Chain A
């Protein structure tokens, strides 16, 4: 199969939507690649640069929903470790003491150790289940496989008590950076996404 030189179209109309969604810019610069081609066919090459046509659409109605709490700039707890974080939710506080990684059982896997505590700040018992805790990788995938956890960690947490321990997630080694904790408890409005500082 032959492949003609490739055109690069920076942004364009498609980017208009991205502008609305994530406020990204569209400077449209071109670059070169140093990667090698895997097949015997030639590498595609950049062939065109087109100035994007930016449109600022008008709002035609509707409203945003209730999204997750997103913490992308973690602030260490006073007196805590550099990776520590405290996430205060309506009926509970999530305390991340540290996040570290170690070699996994296979060559391509890494264990992410998350030292954390769940503090029930309400007057009623809250739930604490393994499926509440997942890691989101840099490519958008979610990893739910927990290799280990304290034997008394999961289960209902009584009012005004705290449950703590280390959850060990197994992830592909290539995905062991820019990880975020997706915490999705029984109350959907308390969903939180927290960038982890993994040491």
Chain B
């Protein structure tokens, strides 16, 4: 909630899709329906002109409401899964907000001039990391701070150094939770006027502070436990107020008058690297190899080259080793992946195997795989050799050529990716590889990723006898 200069209290109502205003003098409540249905009005803030700003958590928008004209203005983020959460307005009326989903994890700024800018927190992918930018605040220097949800950290954007589209100016500060089995969620955040950022951790039942100039975290137990969550604020007297959500209480912490001295703890700030070093590939070297010559076991375990299979190969019971072959059985309507070796840009895969039935089933090689929803694949389905891509869950056939294959017969599939050119061959394993490429496609969606295989077997079984991936 937020209080305007006239003492009126503004709040969001996500379930009924409205914002409300409580007038403490008249003891009345007014409400206004948000234009977009099911928008999930969430965090709320007020600018110096009295305009109300709020995030629309479910529909990837922020919005403003003019109390004078009773009009709304909604602004969409570029990402359709950003789920904006916390929101604050700085002294220049720039609106800052968090894009909460860890698949997005950005800091947004809607400037006073009406321009939407976004800042990365990390240069690496945040999908699946638990980095969920949560609440947000502005320190007395005008820099932006936010809580980071599930990664036990807060982040700071040095606004003077910030460049949209990059994480320049961003520093993340991590702490080590004292209770290792409790989980950790950094929730509320606010700045005092004495140079400290205050935060709480709902699962640790703690609140604490961090110096805005850097240093160490100091944490205190919340006396009632009670899950201190999003509603943490510091008032003009530097007193910290926060909600104890499950204890049904509001807590107030009063700072002493002594000069602040940061207390060293085990929690150290960590600056986010601005680049990621990757090993330089050696053309022609082997990325991964497996002959499957090992004892019967569940999952695929360790390949003959000593590397551990990744993807689904060591997590799903569909994968096993038997008869010195790799088996993938009964995936039903789902497709599962096995990947081996380091990530690569230009690479090729040779894989040899068979499948017990091609009925709504297929198997093949994958290149530039990052997860089950993003890859290139060359596969056979009994009637064709197909080059396909899957981007954020959506598959597209890039090229195909007729290729009749029989159930139970072993085939070799050779899939190569160089730059944006994807080429593939398939042939009966008893024969020789065709002299030219059977199918060629061009696509630049993915530039790097892992090499492996992907299987759709319904109630049947795919049997793999050899796999090799090479850097090109």
B is bound to A = yes
Which residues of A pack against B, CB within 8 Å? 1-17, 20-21, 24-46, 55-68, 70, 102-105, 108-109, 111, 129-131, 134, 137, 139-155, 164-166, 168, 170-175, 182, 184, 188-191
Closest chain-B Cβ to A35's Cβ sits at a distance in Å of 4
Q: A21 contacts which chain B residues (CB < 8 A)?
A: 11, 13, 20
**Min distance, Cβ B451 to any Cβ of chain A, angstroms:** 17
Q: Total interface residues on B, using CB and 8 Å?
A: 111
CA distance A16 to B102 in the complex (A): 33
Task: Name the residue of chain A whose CB is nearest to the CB of B32.
Answer: A62
Contact in complex: B205, A151 (CB < 8 Å): no
Nearest chain A CB to B400 CB, angstrom units? 14
Closest 7 CB pairs of A and B: A148-B372, A174-B183, A191-B38, A2-B256, A65-B17, A65-B33, A130-B393
Q: Closest Cβ of chain B: how far from A109's Cβ, in Å?
A: 6
Residues of B within 8 A of A39 (CB): 208, 217-220, 263, 265
Other-chain contact of A140, B85, B244, B335 (Cβ < 8 Å): B85
Known contacts being A21-B11, A58-B27, is A63 close to B33, with CB within 8 Å? yes
Q: What A residues does B83 contact at CB under 8 A? A: 134, 142, 144
Find chain B residues with CB under 8 A from A34 CB.
225
Q: Chain A's nearest CB lies how many Å from the CB of B222?
A: 6
CA of A31 to CA of B30, assembled, Å:
35
Query: Does B394 make an interface contact (CB < 8 A)?
Result: yes
How many inter-chain residue pairs (CB < 8 Å) link A and B? 335
Main SS class of interface, B: loop
Asked if B268 is at the interface (CB within 8 A of a chain A CB), the reply is: no
Give the complex CA separation of A145 and B101 in angstroms. Answer: 8
Q: Are B102 and A145 interface neighbours, CB within 8 A?
A: yes
Known: A63-B31, A170-B128. A41 touches B263 (CB 8 A): yes
Q: Name the residue on A nearest B244 (C-beta).
A: A8
Residues of B at the A interface (CB closer than 8 Å) are 1, 9, 11, 13-18, 20, 22-24, 26-34, 36-40, 57-59, 80-81, 83, 85, 100-104, 127-128, 130, 132, 134, 149-150, 175, 177-179, 183-185, 187, 202-209, 217-226, 229-230, 244, 247-258, 260-263, 265, 267, 310, 312, 315, 333-337, 371-373, 388, 390, 392-395, 456
Partner of B58, one of A44, A68, A103: A68
Q: How far is the CA of A20 from the CA of B16 in the complex (A)?
A: 12
Question: Are the C-beta atoms of B28 and A144 separated by less than 8 Å?
Answer: no
Decide: A146 and B373 in contact? CB cutoff 8 A: yes
Residue of A28, A140, A143, A146 touching B230 (CB-CB under 8 A):
A140
Most buried by B among A1, A61, A65, A144: A65
Q: Are A33 and B223 in contact (CB under 8 A)?
A: yes
Whole-angstrom distance between the alpha carbons of A32 and B221 in the complex? Answer: 10
Task: Name which residue of chain B comes closest to A135, CB basis.
Answer: B101
- B-side contacts of A58, CB under 8 Å: 26-29
Contact B34 A65, beta carbon cutoff 8 Å: yes
Q: Least Cβ distance of A50 to chain B in Å?
A: 10
Q: Looking at the complex, which one of A68, A172, A175 makes contact with B40 (CB distance below 8 Å)?
A: A68
